[in-house]
A and B are shown apart, each in its own frame.
Chain A
Amino acid sequence: MMRDRAQLGMAMFLIAEAVFFFLLILAFSYFRAIPATAPTGLFFTALLLASSFSMWRATAGSRLWLWVTIALGAAFLSGQAGFFGTTFFTLAAVHGMHVVAGLVALALVPASALRTMALYWYFFTAVWLVVFVIASQA
């Protein structure tokens, strides 16, 4: 029961985040009149995608996959530093802060909360894919 509550709460939180990112991405698309610096981070995007896979493995109860997830997430972040000072930065930074928060949470939460955190992690992988595709069109 307790887990269901946490997952429902997380789902509600992610709905709020979806509205938030939808509007941020919309603002960015609208603003594209100036060419933005297109992200070149296909490699780092692949890392984040891989981290969602390892997250899925980690929910089966493996600590090792959890640390793989954290390592991949941190590696993704290191690739984001290059966007500083671009218009694209707003999106990348806000997404990156969510990844940082996710990494801290993954390192701290008890195993019982991993499934709830997995929802969070999948969601922000998906957000990045959308951001990446849209920003690549610029």
Chain B
Amino acid sequence: MTSWLFAIDHKRVGILYMLSALLFFLAGGMEAMVMRAQLAAPNLRLVTPETYNQMFTMHGTTMIFLVAMPVLTGFGVYLVPLMIGANEAALPRLGALSFWLQLFGGVLLYFSFATGAAPDAGWFSYAPLSEKAFSPGAGLDYWALALLMIAGGSIGSAINLIVTIASGRAPGMTMRLVPLFVWMTLVTSIMIVFALPALAASLVVLLSDRWQYARFFDPSQGGAPLLWQHYFWIFGHPEVYIVVLPAFGMISEIIPVFSRKPIFGYPFVATSTVAIAFLSYGVWVHHMFAVALGRNFLAVFAAASMLIAVPTGTKIFSWIATMWGGAIRFTTAMLFAVAFLLEFTIGGLSGVAFATVPVDWQVTDTYFVVAHIHYVLFGGTVFALLAGVHYWFPKFSGRLLDEKLGRWSFWVIVIGFNTAVFVQHFLGLMGMTRRIYTYPDLPWFGTLNLISTIGAAILVFGILLFCVNIAMSLFFGAKAGDDPWNAWTLEWATPSPPLLQNFAQIPEVRSRRPLWDLKHPEAPDWMQV
């Protein structure tokens, strides 16, 4: 027990990140179910409106800051040193500190429930609603302080990953040869270093208003609520890519291995990631199209937002081209990866629709937005994560996940997720606003919402199957061996689970598939022209 409390080894810290994320994932899922139950039929009064506001605020904040970011960080912290042939992270104590900041930030946020004052101003807490005058309770203070801690933890782990990738690569592993997951983790970490301070600055200014009687967001005193929107989304839009790029990295590792082909267009996948990172800092205003900012201003941000579809589409085509003509093995991991391609593309397409200003004006703050972000963050990030868990669990634990149960959970999750969220597109187009507590008995509203709630219940069942699979396989799963998937990257050259010292001998790297080279000395990649 204490060996985990004081762990600084990157593998243990990584596991701690993932476990804490799983815990908060279940909490955030329960909050979602409270909302879906409340919305199951018109004019229901299952919970109070106040509770409902707390539920959507905590659900959004939890899923972004306590689930998506830490679980991706956990994968990065665990896998990056193994993939680059390093024995440890560059700054191990900083890595451990970052995790505990992250965890206690989450604990602080949830402690607000115990005080009876959970935050209730939405996950982006727009001023002036978040000001003392309109949110006098302590909920917003818990929210801001918890996010400050989490921002600090995220920046710490990002610094650790950047320095590890910069200084820890095995001899011969140039940046042209690192696995794509490492590339994407590096780009994500740099984005965290540039974006999370914007969140911290917004929070400090907000706390200053709330505690110090400063008036940064008070228009009657020369402040401007618009400042909050700009600052929050200067953080908030890069954040969207921060929680999706590492997922792209996982897909870029999994699809080649299960297609038995190297990734198609490695340089394009890597450089398009950098392009996304740059563009992501020039699109934040598309969250604010409904604010009257001037036509030219909107045109620039609309164009930049549409431009992001180009590097993202490049990746989708690279993954499809990798599968094309490959000897595809449909393991559970590959099923989730292929489903990711479809689900994420739906989210991407509705995203391009939003970049069109008049469309945004029509459907902003409706369930169309809710559907869009869930296709991106669940259909994208979570599906890639589920693929990643099925792919790397044998390395983490030394045991294979059960394929039969895995397939069951896959189909239940796919059916549940799409049933729950796809109909929300229609609800949004019909004018159902997001965050609404209840709704009148308008034509189709009740039916579509009931379908959505039933889908959410199916999804919960699928997630439970997945959790059961994890728990059962941890104890009864078949032994995995070092390299169950016949993969090519260096983490599979270590025992499962790896020893404290990852590599008995640091391998020399001469190609993008160092393990292939080791297994095929007669035809290594670096001999091919």
> Which of B91, B158, B163, B198 has the largest count of A CB atoms less than 10 A from its CB?
B163
Judge whether B212 and A30 touch: CB under 8 Å: no
**A interface, over-half SS:** helix
Binds B, one of A13-21, A49-57, A58-66, A128-136: A13-21
A9 interface residue, CB < 8 Å from B? yes
A41-B55 Cα distance, complex, nearest whole Å: 48
Partner of A16, one of B194, B215, B223, B231: B194
Q: Are A23 and B163 in contact (CB under 8 A)?
A: no
Q: From residue B150, how far is it (CB to closest CB) to chain A in Å?
A: 14
| Best-buried of B166, B197, B223 by chain A (most CB within 10 Å) | B197
The number of chain B residues with a CB under 8 A from chain A is 33
- Of A73-81, A87-95, A107-115, A118-126, which stretch is located at the interface? A87-95
Cβ–Cβ contact A20 & B214, under 8 A: no
Do the beta carbons of A9 and B159 come within 8 Å of each other? yes
Interface-facing stretch out of B200-208, B351-359, B486-494, B510-518: B200-208
Max count, chain B CB within 10 A of own CB: residue among A20, A21, A94: A20
| Distance in angstroms between the alpha carbons of A83 and B123 in the assembled complex | 33
**A90-B212 contact given A9-B94, A27-B227, CB 8 Å threshold:** yes
B221 touching A90 by the CB < 8 A rule? no
Known A16-B197, A90-B205; judge A33-B222 contact (CB<8 A).
yes
Whether B193 lies near A27 (C-beta < 8 A) is: no
Given known contacts A5-B90, A90-B214, A12 and B222 CB-to-CB distance under 8 angstroms:
no
The reply to whether B194 and A15 contact each other, CB–CB distance below 8 Å, is yes
B205 touches A24 (CB 8 A): yes
Give the CA-CA distance A19 to B198 in the complex, in Å: 7
Distance in Å from the Cβ of B506 to the closest Cβ of chain A?
14
Asked if residues A9 and B227 are in contact (CB atoms below 8 Å), the reply is no
Secondary structure dominating the interface of B: helix
Partner among A9, A12, A34 whose Cβ is within 8 Å of the Cβ of B215:
A34
Q: Does A8 contact B (CB under 8 A)?
A: yes
B91 touches A24 (CB 8 A): no
The docked-state distance in angstroms from the alpha carbon of A28 to that of B139 is 26
Contact among A20, A27, A34, A90 for B200, CB-based, below 8 A = A20
A38 to B90, CA, bound (A): 44
> Chain A's nearest CB lies how many Å from the CB of B89?
10
- Closest chain-A Cβ to B185's Cβ sits at a distance in Å of 14
B211-228 vs A, CB cutoff 8 Å, 1 = contact: the mask equals: 010111000011110010
In the complex, what's the smallest C-beta–C-beta distance from A137 to chain B, in angstroms? 16
* B residues with CB within 8 A of A: 90-91, 94, 155, 158-160, 162-163, 166-167, 193-194, 196-198, 200-202, 204-205, 208, 212, 214-216, 221-224, 227, 231, 234
**Other A-B pairs beyond A20-B200, A33-B223, 13, CB < 8 Å:** A8-B163, A9-B162, A13-B155, A19-B194, A21-B201, A23-B231, A23-B234, A24-B204, A24-B205, A27-B231, A30-B224, A31-B223, A34-B222
- Pairs across A and B, CB under 8 Å, 21 listed: A4-B167, A5-B90, A5-B167, A6-B91, A8-B162, A9-B90, A12-B158, A12-B159, A12-B162, A13-B159, A15-B194, A17-B197, A19-B194, A20-B200, A23-B202, A30-B227, A31-B222, A87-B214, A89-B214, A90-B208, A90-B214
- Which residues of A are in contact with B by a Cβ distance under 8 Å? 1, 4-6, 8-9, 12-13, 15-21, 23-24, 27, 30-34, 85, 87, 89-90, 94
